[in-house]
Amino acid sequence: NSEDVRCKCICPPYKDHSGHIYNKNVSQKDCDCLHVVEPMPVPGPDVEAYCLRCECKYEERSSVTIKVNNLILLE
């Protein structure tokens, strides 16, 4: 597969939980905290507040392009 897609959520520290980066292969429409952050580090009442602090971005990249660039750089 030449296309790699993922959703990356960067969640800062919250209460007594340290910050964490979550990655998951999901569709662009599912690129949000509720679909990517597993397991959820906070109990039910804190999920909304925790997720509002997370920044989630959908990313696409071409593995073939990356491999070709690496080969060129190595020569």
- 58-68, pLDDT tens digit by residue? 998 777 766 77
pLDDT digits (tens, 9 = 90+) for 26-59: 999 999 999 999 999 999 999 999 999 999 999 9
**Minimal CA–CA distance to 19: which of 53, 52, 48?**
53
Amino acid at 47: V
Q: Are 12 and 22 in contact (CB under 8 A)?
A: no
Q: Are 49 and 14 in contact (CB under 8 A)?
A: yes
pTM (predicted TM-score): 0.74
